[in-house]
Amino acid sequence: MGSLAGRALEAEQLTRYRWAAQAVSGKDVLDAGCGAGLGTRILAQAGARRVTGLDASEKTVAEAVRRVGDVAELVAGDLETLPFAPAAFDVAVCFDVVERVEQREQLLDELERVLGEDGILLISLPGGVEGELTSRFPAVSLHRQHSRLASAIAADGGLPQADSARVVAPPDAAHVPATLAVAGKRETPDLRDLVVLAEALEVQRWEDEVTRARRQTDEAVRQVEAARGREEQAASERQLVARRLIEAEQLTAQAQVRVGSLEEEIGRRREEIVSRDAAVAALRQTASRGMASLRRGAKALLGARR
């Protein structure tokens, strides 16, 4: 997890595993929903006799094998139908899983099934699920995980102890701590409160990241607005072209009507010309006949005089 938010989330998750590691020494442990195996490795390094990590994703399990090596057994399987015999484990750890499965009650039944008679379950819970634990386990204790910004002072070369932690921030209604539960078939172990200082997270770095994200968001908004403006301009241009096409079609129709009228006029004029030509030809024939008759009459008069 490269981002600050990713590293903070990773620190939160690994804190849970370090807290749970108090209960695994010499035990057979199941990490149900092991993900990439970082928490599984913590459990193995805490002195567990045997650790088995299970995740539904084969790709995730392959990544976990690369990270964890041979300190734990890692298998892919269905979290709602665990591929293990009854009472196969002394401790089961199940973080960030209940919220993601469809059959929550079946998952809890399976976790109870694979635990031995003194078995212990350490689990993170969404709100309102506590009752589903108490119906399966006689002993249940709840814990709250608070994730806050921290600053620590310790002697040179050392780190502050958990009992030195103090919460000085005012109550914040928006801050809802995560719920963790320890459920036992007979009793629950006494786990100490735990404060983990993970990688340093400077507020300025958070602010810088937020500023960069805000700038990227603003730039994305500008690009979207520019694209919307171009789209609106293109739509306006399409409307203009459409109007001009309609006008052109109307002018074309008018021109066709005009051409039709002119063709009819030309036809009428041609008919008139043909009619006039016929009349002229008839007049010429009549005139020709009249001239011929006059010539004949003139010849006859000349002949009589002689």
- Cα separation, 215 vs 296, whole angstroms: 118
- On whether residue 155 sits in a domain, the answer given is no
Residue 139 has pLDDT above 90, yes or no: yes
pLDDT of residue 10: 65
- On whether residue 48 sits in a domain, the answer given is yes
CB 198 within 8 A of CB 191: no
- On whether residue 256 sits in a domain, the answer given is no
- On whether residue 112 sits in a domain, the answer given is yes
Q: How far is CA 171 from its chain centroid?
A: 35
Which carries the bigger pLDDT value, residue 168 or residue 49? Answer: 49
- On whether residue 278 sits in a domain, the answer given is no
Residue 44 has pLDDT above 90, yes or no: yes
DSSP per-residue codes, 160-194:
--GGG----SPP-TT--PEEEEEEESS----PPP-
Residue 157 has pLDDT above 80, yes or no: no
- On whether residue 251 sits in a domain, the answer given is no
- Cα separation, 246 vs 302, whole angstroms: 83
**Segment 94-132, tens digit of pLDDT:** 999 998 888 999 999 999 999 999 999 999 988 777 888
- Please report, for residues 46, 96, 116, 125, the alpha-carbon distance to residue 100 in angstroms, rounded to integers and kept in the order given: 27, 7, 25, 11
Domain span at residue 117 reads 4-146+175-201
Whether pTM > 0.85 for this model: the answer is no
* Mean pLDDT, rounded, of the chain: 85
Banded model confidence at residue 302, pLDDT cuts 50, 70, 90: confident
| Cα end-to-end span (Å), the chain | 145
- On whether residue 305 sits in a domain, the answer given is no
Average confidence (pLDDT) over 129-142: 89
* DSSP 8-state symbol, 3: S
- Cα separation, 221 vs 95, whole angstroms: 38
- On whether residue 229 sits in a domain, the answer given is no
Overall number of domains in the chain: 1
**CATH at 25:** 3.40.50.150
